[in-house]
Amino acid sequence: MKQIKPFILKLIAALSLAIGVTAVMQTTTNNNTQTVQAARKLSKTEKAAKNWIAMQESGGNYSARNGSCYGKYQLNIGYLHGDYSKKNQDRTADNYVYGRYGSWVNAKRFWLAHNWY
């Protein structure tokens, strides 16, 4: 009986931690979805930065290929999950940029400093 009680307490603690992590992950997913939804209504400055990056990366060509990178935004092929459509490239680029840089303007700043984004 003495050994069962600590085991049960550890089990309850582990379950509580797992539930907490799940809640945080759901919140993060919801926040990322909101960020991408907000990205669909880009300001003129954001649109200009997005277009500028596309022109630097591929000349605006949705079919451009360079090694393991593909499309208008030269995304890693793995990010596109086999869907090379314009819509998926735009959506994936928005997800990438907003997740990594917070905005297309910030991504352009990074590109200017490093010649890649």
Tens of pLDDT, residues 22-69? 444 454 444 455 445 544 689 999 999 999 999 999 999 999 999 999
The verdict on 51 and 61 lying in the same domain is yes
- Main-chain dihedrals φ then ψ at residue 66, nearest 5 degrees: -145, 95
The verdict on 46 and 35 lying in the same domain is no
The verdict on 46 and 30 lying in the same domain is no
Task: Give the rounded distance of the alpha carbon of 49 from its chain centre.
Answer: 17
Six-digit token string for 39: 């990205």
Tens of pLDDT, residues 90-100? 999 999 999 99
pTM for the whole structure: 0.67
The verdict on 110 and 72 lying in the same domain is yes
The verdict on 10 and 49 lying in the same domain is no
Domains contained in the chain, number: 2
